Chain A
Amino acid sequence: MARISIDIGGTFTDVVVDDGGRLSSVKVLTTPTAPEQGALDGVDRVLARLSLTPADITGVVHGTTLATNALIERRGAKTALVTTAGFRDVLEMRTEKRFDQYALNIELPEPLVPRPLRLGLRERILADGSVLHAPDDAEIDALAETLRGQAVEAVAIGFLHSYRNDTHEAYVAERLAGLLDPSVTICRSAEVSGEIREYDRFSTVCANASVRPLMARYLDRMVAALRERGFGGSVLMMLSDGALTTLEQAARFPVRLVEGGPAGGVALAAHVAREIGSRRTLSLDIGGTTAKICFIEDGQPRTTRNFEVARAWRDVKGSGLPVRVPTVELVEIGAGGGSIARIDRLGRLCVGPQSAGSEPGPAAYGRGGEDATVTDAHLTTGNIAAEGFAGGIIDLTPDRAPDAIARQVQAPLGMETVEAAAAGVVEMADETMANAARVHGVELGYDVAAFDLLVSGGGGALHGARIAEKLGIKRIIVPKDAGVGSAVGFLRSPVAFEWALTVIEPLEGLDVTALAGRIEGALAEVRDIVAGAVPGDRVVTAVKAELHYRGQGIDITLPLDTADLVAGLNGLGAAFEARYRAMQGFVLPHVAVELVSLSVTARERREETEPTPMPFPDDAPESESRAVFDGRAGEALTYSVVPREGMMAAPINGPAIIAEAQTTTLVRPGWTVRRMAAGHLLMERGA
């Protein structure tokens, strides 16, 4: 039985076939106007290579950035927002906050729905869910007339406090559906994101409504084309939180797909973590422009419901459109191979976030790039070799690297050697990434030193050791097959669905039985969604509760035992105090503890298959070595160079370099590396 994974990104589309554990992949160019064409071309090619036909395929898993790009480029449907009268500007007022205190010229993104299409309707539900004004039929009918007149393709409905009582949204949606052309998409805020904070919820429903027509059409075309080829299996879509869902749910809530691609990368990291039994894993993916980090616990990536798409201002937090759906909690850092090194106004060395990208690229690419980049620094120190760079796809002009470093870094800083300057550039990049991980870890209350570092992307294995040293981490994993990571990750992901409920009630006096009933109801819904794609006996559920001291912003998330919800709810207070004391060093017994929200998840229980052991070669390759300048030592050290496929079972002591087509693993002094049976590299410090 073979499964296919399709990852459509902005530039490339990856197709991977998993034929009983054997992976085979192909990379094709994305065809933006009809993305299914490039993908199907890839499918045909990889199947032909394996002498398989679509009829041999039991399932397709698919992730795409189509919805994300449509939001960034504002290519969604013509969308109207029907909202509580008096609040039509919520979408444009946003948080009313400047996200950069000292930048006077910041610009905010255009709202997804322009003011003339934001229409108020007289209705009002209060904070406790009670009705102040019911909507009036005549007013709804008049509104429908306006919507028809404007020829809108999608209608988002967002009323105040609908997370508490969604009857007005449901009523208006139903009545509008009867009055508008059936082709018009209608979305309600409470079914897209059932959470308090009107701006976030309205933003989420508008994003969903605007991309839904486009995504529904696209998915129809894709499935029809697969069926035409004789494919008879199931299609599952990759969600932003690293789980898969059914086509039906994906077409209803396309906004849940926006981070599917990056989530696939994290899903693969999580899979490797489970495979090798790493309980606490810090995933670090270093690409050409950015690095991404994500904490993984017990093989599950951390997720968040605070996510922004389409950031308008230098990727600064607060400058995008909030989307309150479950998303892998990735921190993106403006540091990668193409990051430019420069000297700032205060005479300090800075690396990134500006990037030379792939065009013109690092100076050594010889495509007109004059800026010194991190890749140029690696070439100058000898961390990477010019021969065979990036699997031989890119021909380098190696001399341009030290020239650029000398000109842009060494001379202005007055450093003695170009190698030292280059090592400084690498050190700054390492520091930027390590510090982002440190800051994020502290924010989450983690002891980062207790995590394993799992590196991927072209630069992960190059920077991993020094970053681990900075974080006190002692184990690094360099997985195999990192090249088409996201598509492989899709294949390793479970089917799952998460839903959040806003509660905001003090624990004391909480009607535990009623709340348990509400949770059961939500669990039944998410279980049904997952059971649409997975046999019922393989569906497991989980509930997490978010609590805080009333009035405070330290939200603590605790698991809730689904076997006995009442007992679980009754035990929350004690568990909260214990966690709070561990984090803050004190408790406040006289302040009420509030249950803020609950998230319920149904998930497919996957049988983890034992990885097939990869044989070791019979003979060790001839030993080679090269000089690598070490910034900490202040001089060049001799690194032995071993090709990855030539590694024997015995560990190799650093300083050493493990070379392979797509990446270089730098084993710094004090580290050892060995190849594990499954093919992954394990680097250990002081071992």
Chain B
Amino acid sequence: MTDTLDIVARTVVWNRLISVCEEQANALMRAAFGAIVREAGDLSAGVFDAQGRMLAQAVTGTPGHVNTMAASVRAMLEVVPPETLSPGDALVTNDPWLGAGHVFDFVVVTPVFLNGRIVAYLAATSHIVDVGGRGWSAESRSVFEEGVTIPVMPLRRGDALNEDMLRIVETNSRVPHEARGDILSLLTCNDTGARQLTALMAEYGMRDLDDIAAFIFERSAAGTREALLRAPQGVYRNTLALDGYDSPIVLKAEMTVGDGRIDVDLAGSSPLAVRGINCPLNYAAAYAAFGIRALLAPEIPNNHASLEAIRITAPLGLVVSAERPAPVTARHVIGQALPDLMLGCLEQALPGEVLAESSGALWTIALSGAGAVPFTSLNVALGGMGARPGLDGLSTTAFPSGVGAVPVEAAEVAAPLIYHSKEFAPDTGGAGTYRGGLAQRIVIGSRHDDPLDLSAAAFERLRSGPAGRQGGLPGAAGGVEITDGTRIDDKGIYRIPAGERLILQTPGGGGYGPPDQRDPRAVARDRTHGLISDGAATNIYNQKNHQEET
């Protein structure tokens, strides 16, 4: 075979590179310890060319890994230069500013050698359940309190594992053996991917990836450009208010839609928060770009060129561009609000095409035993998705994250908790021609009537609900309380006394279009199904006498 492939072979190879990544991500998903990491798909896998440019990446549940991974390979190679690498070597780090935004995410990069030359790199990243520090909460005042940080270093030299590094992680982790397993799984994942890549190159007689890289980048750049041209050029601004840790936070964006590219400046957003909901810029950029691409260019694969057309910047030191040593554990609270911030800009460019605001940050339910039986339990409580032009919002479904909830039976087997109820909360979906997705109400208590500790780090949108669009009303704000009367109104740690229960009500999605334009049959159905009250049907939807139907 020759060094240049025909169009069919190039397409086959490109598809196969994506497939290799997807396969590796699926393997990592099964290998990850912790149900919520698996449900969340809080991991990714990618293949890079010899210059460290991302060629392909798996699409997983968390867009937060997209841009971060694209940048991390080059950043790691700056620390350990490629010329010092030999076959078998692999590099590792969990530095939030080089990896995926908090110390939980480990990135492993493995060079692929062919005829004594590096032809590619494979990267894999996954959320490790515990790396010490304060564990999963927003309570740290600096990243130093959030767990052990491993600077870029070899995880393996030839066939010798860096046991020193593994021992450091094991010594610092509350679940040392699982942490070791998770890190070794990243290594296995890259090794399998490397074998498949080499087999693919042999099948097509490729000596390097230069030709295929040029093809992927050229096509992706042109496709992205064409897709972005759908939005009229101009400057669009939007602001979003969040509860913050204990005082409100403002997110600001100025979006410049240019000739086939988009530049976003987040200047004017709030300064750093006092605790760990700050977001490094790499992670903020990942979510912001996801919001733009999901609307304008959903079918263009993630790679170096397709990401380059969207640039997110911010002056350093803001809540969206935190620098070391800011605490960043719950950075998703900010990061996951950014797609709505971007969609609000694009609504001005493309009115009538953009969904309403969604419940945003994933509500992590982090409970631990404060009585005789020690345990920790992680689950998520999901709110409503914003209504879409032409479609109701999805109820109890996360957006922008693609994470699902752990089933109640599985959660109760894993920890001594009782979920007393988990049902739709009526009247929480923002009213509109198309209704926002409904929120849910969850009641949880201890199995043994023991006290429980709760981290409220991710309970966002307790003060105001997600906004509607085009005349649609906002979704209901969330609410969290303990049956002893305590209302949760910041992101700290709360004690649930013995015998009391936690009551969570997530935010509902925003509505789309004026409520009085809603199809009367849809209103009647919502009422029969108990999704809206009679009062809402009469007063908000202005529909008194319509025949009920199922």
Contact = CB atoms under 8 A, between A and B. Distances in A.
A89 B181 contact: no
A107 interface: yes
Given A415-B7, A435-B19, A553-B30, A87 B408 contact: yes
A345 B8 contact: no
Interface stretch (B137-145, B253-261, B313-321, B397-405): B397-405
B399 A197 contact: no
Contact of A199 (B23, B35, B185, B407): B407
Interface in A79-104: 85-90, 92-93, 95-98, 101-104
Contact of B408 (A101, A104, A160): A160
Interface stretch (B109-117, B413-421, B450-458): B413-421
B295 interface: yes
A504 B413 contact: yes
A98 B409 contact: no
Given A87-B422, A115-B530, A98 B397 contact: yes
Nearest to A318: B404
User: Most chain-A CB neighbours within 10 Å: which of B8, B185, B300, B391?
Assistant: B8
Interface string A315-350: 000000000000000000000000000001111111
B378 to A, nearest CB: 11
Contact of A107 (B12, B129, B299, B391): B391
Interface string B395-439: 111110011110111101100001111111000000000000000
Contacts of A349: 7-8, 11
B203 A101 contact: no
A88 B422 CA distance: 8
Given A161-B412, A345-B299, A552-B32, A431 B12 contact: yes
Interface string B42-74: 000000000000000001110100000000000
Given A97-B397, A98-B394, A588 B181 contact: yes
A364 to B, nearest CB: 21
A554 interface: yes
A427 interface: yes
Given A104-B388, A115-B529, A631-B8, A590 B177 contact: yes
Interface in B1-60: 6-8, 10-12, 14-16, 19, 22-23, 26-27, 29-35, 38-39, 59-60
Given A98-B394, A554-B30, A586-B188, A126 B418 contact: yes
Interface string B504-542: 000000000000000000000000111100000000000
Interface string A525-554: 000000000000000000000000101111
A196 interface: yes
A101 B397 CA distance: 12
B61 A101 contact: yes
A93 B550 contact: no
A424 interface: yes
Interface residues of A, number: 68
Nearest to A421: B8
Given A86-B443, A470-B203, A101 B402 contact: yes
Given A104-B294, A132-B418, A87 B397 contact: no
Interface string A399-424: 00000000000000101000000011
A228 interface: no
- For the side of the interface on B, what is the size category? 35 or more
A467 to B, nearest CB: 13
A109 interface: no
A350 B12 CA distance: 10
B490 interface: no
Interface string A414-458: 010000000110011001000100110011000000000000000
A105 B388 contact: yes
Contacts of B7: 348-349, 413, 415, 424
A114 B529 CA distance: 8
A588 B394 contact: no
Interface in A89-135: 89-90, 92-93, 95-98, 101-108, 114-116, 124, 126-127, 132
Interface string A12-44: 000000000000000000000000000000000
Contact of A96 (B27, B382, B447): B382
User: Most chain-B CB neighbours within 10 Å: which of A101, A413, A427, A435?
Assistant: A101
A420 B222 CA distance: 26
Nearest to B177: A590
B34 A551 contact: yes
Nearest to B298: A102
B463 interface: no
Nearest to A445: B27
B191 interface: yes
Interface string A492-531: 0000000000001000000000000000000000000000
B191 A101 contact: no
A431 B412 contact: no
Contacts of A103: 298
A345 B382 contact: no
Contacts of B355: 104
B265 interface: no
B59 A104 contact: no
Interface in B80-132: 129
A553 B422 contact: no
Given A93-B395, A98-B397, A554 B11 contact: no
Contacts of B324: none
B220 interface: yes
B180 interface: yes
A585 interface: yes
A357 to B, nearest CB: 24
A346 B394 contact: no
A552 B11 contact: no
B330 to A, nearest CB: 20
A554 B219 CA distance: 37
Contact of A86 (B19, B226, B423, B550): B423
A94 B220 CA distance: 35
A654 B105 CA distance: 53
B223 interface: yes
A126 B411 CA distance: 11
Interface of B: 6-8, 10-12, 14-16, 19, 22-23, 26-27, 29-35, 38-39, 59-61, 63, 129, 176-178, 180-181, 184-185, 188, 191-192, 203, 219-220, 222-223, 226-227, 293-295, 298-300, 355, 382, 385, 388, 390-391, 394-399, 402-405, 407-410, 412-413, 418-424, 440, 443, 447, 528-531, 550
Given A96-B397, A126-B418, A551-B129, 18 more contacts: A98-B385, A98-B394, A115-B529, A126-B447, A160-B409, A196-B410, A197-B409, A198-B409, A199-B407, A349-B7, A350-B11, A424-B7, A442-B27, A504-B413, A552-B181, A584-B185, A588-B178, A590-B177
A-B CB proximity, top 5 nearest: A86-B421, A97-B404, A424-B8, A102-B298, A127-B412
Interface of A: 85-90, 92-93, 95-98, 101-108, 114-116, 124, 126-127, 132, 160-161, 163, 196-199, 344-350, 413, 415, 423-424, 427-428, 431, 435, 438-439, 442-443, 470, 504, 549, 551-555, 584-586, 588, 590-591, 631
26 contacts: A86-B423, A90-B422, A95-B404, A97-B61, A98-B399, A102-B298, A104-B355, A105-B391, A116-B550, A163-B409, A197-B410, A198-B408, A345-B226, A345-B300, A346-B220, A347-B223, A348-B219, A349-B7, A350-B11, A442-B23, A551-B34, A552-B33, A553-B32, A553-B38, A555-B30, A584-B184
